Every structure is written in structure tokens, then in C-alpha cells.
Amino acid sequence: VTGGYTINLLSNITPDESDTFENDDNHKQSMICITKSYKYTINGNGHTIDAKRDSSNKGRVVYAIKCTLTINDAVIKGGYIASYGAGIMLYANTSGFLNNVEITGNVSIDSTESTPCGGGLSVYNNCVYTSGSVHDNSCVKGGGIARISGTNANLTLGDPNNPKAKVLIYNNKSTDAGAGLFSALGKLTIINADVFNNIKVDSSGNVLAENNVYLKKVDETSNQTITVGGNLSGCKIGVTTENTPSSGNTIQITTGYSDNNSLPPSKIFKSDAGYGVIMDEINGKEAVLATGGGSIDVPLQIYDNVKIELDKKVIVSKDTSPDKNVISVSGSLDGESVTLSKLSATLY
């Protein structure tokens, strides 16, 4: 495809299984290959683009570079390639818009890449995925989706103009990390999405653990975070971080959570590794992963109300006697005592 076009599908399209995809050296093995700096639209009208590739005849479904590509109402399936984005590869200087797009049954098998490949969708620069589903894809890193570029790789899940539009990411597999979504660099924004039941497996396909959204580390103490772009009430998002929390040290997983949400973050986020998900009320009101022990420092002052949230349970009390200048809160969590003194909250 070499000019700006709109493609309207009137039926499902698929090649003969014996056909090979021969493109030029930089973009080889793609069923649909877009390489010019124009705007393109594929209107699927509910139809399927099925590459029907396998280990004996490899190829991806859609490849786009240096363009703007919009895909509406389509199913993308059947890619099998030893490279990035077996389903859809949005490569350098490309902006993608995916509206009601299902990406399923795509496999990336390249274990030599140091960066995540993305079995279903690979994003190099920008992609707004407003609605649809990514399921039953696989890759070494980023079974469903991977962001593979530097700070310019921006991926948005959900529609900024329609808060009811949703993206579902489930039943994808990886043998390394990010079975659902691998967030390496750049910005990941979630407006409305579910990311659940994505599984890390061993080389034989045996289930090891859930590994949904994988947040790669930025330095030795922090990771990539999820920018919260809307009210996530009703969403369920599993999270794994490369850096993990320890006693007294939490790991931040969101940016902008309290700007749009009042629910405890444990109602929305789940740690794939079983850590607690709590609100950091002191440092920016963001969702953090925390262990079951350690202490949380608080300023020495009198509070009118004190709220402690631990592992999905809330303990609320107060003692604000002016002459005491202390905070004293107590309660129980699964039969164990929790106390808050004037300087710190200690979990026993």
C-alpha cells in the first residue's frame, strides 16, 4: 500500500496457507504492509483478517511504518513470526488508532530479542486502543501487548471521549514477563481496561503464575507506573513490578490515581505476586504495592480523621484530644492487631 486510502472489507480475508509473504528486507513477511507517510483506514465491518501462519510458513498480519493507521471493527488473527507484533506491528513514526478491534491467536517466537516483542500488538511510538480485546496470543515478553521504544512509546487503553468504551486483555501467555502487557518505557495510560488471567508459563507450557501488566524498573527503587486517565471503577488490573516491595518500602504503581478515583485501589488493582495494594496517603495519594510488615511514617500533628487501609480492609478510628497531641488508632486485620502511634503505624 503506497498512498492514503480507506479499505472497506466486504468479507473475511485470508491467504492460501501455502502463500508466502514476501516484502522488502525491512518489512518482510507481512500480510498487510503499509510503508508510506499517509493516513490509512481499514474498516473491517466485523470481518476477520486471518494470516493463517504457522511455524512452517511464518508471517505477521499487519505492519505499518511512518504513517497514521486506523483500524475499525475488525478481527486480527493468525500471525506467527520470529519478530515484533505477530498480529499488529506499529513501527517507527506511526500513530495507531484501534476501535473495536479483536486481536487473537497470534504468536511471536523470537527468544533472542532483548526487548519485548508483543505477540498480539507491538507499539513503537503511539497507539490509542479505544475498545476491543486482546486474548489468546503469546510471546516470550509481552504476550498480548508490548511497548518497545524509548520515552516516546505511548499507549492508551480506553477512549478519552467515551468512558464506557473498554479494552479487555486476557488469556495471553509469555515465558518471560508481561503475559498481558509489557510496559518497558514511555507512557502507559489506562482509561478503561481489564487486564486479568494472563499467564507466565515455562518452556513446556506449564503454568507458573499470573503476570498481567508488567512494569519494568526505571532505577533500583522505582518502576514504570500506570497513568490513570479516568474513573477505573469496575476495572480489574493485575500488576507485576520488576522492583518489588520490602518491609518499610512500598512500590508505586500509579500516577494520577486520586485525581479520578475515590475507591481504595485494592478494589481495582491486584498484585500478581500476592503483595498488598494500598493507598499512599502521605506521598501523593497513589496506589502502591506493600508487604505485610514494616512501618509507615506519618507527620506529628493532630488529625480529625485517620484512615488505614490494609489488604482490602479498612480500619477507621480517631483520638484527637488536643491536650494529648497524639494519634491512637487500633483495630484488627485477620485477627492480628494494628496500631498507629503518633509517629508511625506498625503492623504486627
Would you call 29 helix, strand, or coil by DSSP?
coil
pLDDT at 297 over 60: no
Confidence of residue 203 (pLDDT cuts 50, 70, 90): confident
Q: What is the pLDDT of residue 328?
A: 45
| Matching residue, cell 519478530 | 83
Confidence of residue 47 (pLDDT cuts 50, 70, 90): very high
DSSP one-letter string for 173-240: EEEEE-SSEEE-SSEEEESSEEEE--EEE-TT--EEEE--EEE-BSSSS-B--EEE-S--TT--EEEE
Q: What is the pLDDT of residue 221?
A: 83
pLDDT, tens only, 102-156? 999 999 986 555 566 899 999 998 999 999 999 999 998 899 999 776 567 899 9
pLDDT at 94 over 50: yes
Of the listed ranges 110-124, 167-181, 273-287, the one predicted with least confidence: 110-124
Q: What is the pLDDT of residue 74?
A: 98
User: What is the distance between the alpha carbons of residues 243 and 258, in angstroms, rounded to a whole number?
Assistant: 23
Give the pairing of strands 126-135 and 154-157: parallel
Backbone φ and ψ for 260, nearest 5 degrees, come out as -125, -5
Q: What is the pLDDT of residue 83?
A: 83
Burial 141-160 (b: 16+ CB within 10 A, else e): bbbbbbbbbeeebbbbbbbe
| Matching residue, cell 511504518 | 65
Q: How many residues does the chain have?
A: 348
Q: Which range is most confident: 53-57, 245-249, 255-259?
A: 255-259
The predicted model scores a pTM of 0.82
What residue type is 122 in one-letter code?
Answer: S
Q: How far apart are the first and last CA of the chain?
A: 64
More confident residue, 323 or 176: 176
55: alpha, beta or left, given left = phi > 0 and alpha = psi -120 to 50?
alpha
Would you call 60 helix, strand, or coil by DSSP?
strand
User: What is the distance between the alpha carbons of residues 64 and 71, in angstroms, rounded to a whole number?
Assistant: 12
* CA dist list (Å): 58 to 53, 104, 117, 163, 283: 5, 16, 15, 38, 49
| Matching residue, cell 512500598 | 250
Q: What is the pLDDT of residue 252?
A: 95
DSSP one-letter string for 133-144: EEES-EEEE-SS
User: What is the distance between the alpha carbons of residues 127 and 103, in angstroms, rounded to a whole number?
Assistant: 14
Q: Which range is most confident: 10-19, 41-50, 308-317?
A: 41-50
Report the percentage of the chain scoring pLDDT > 70: 77
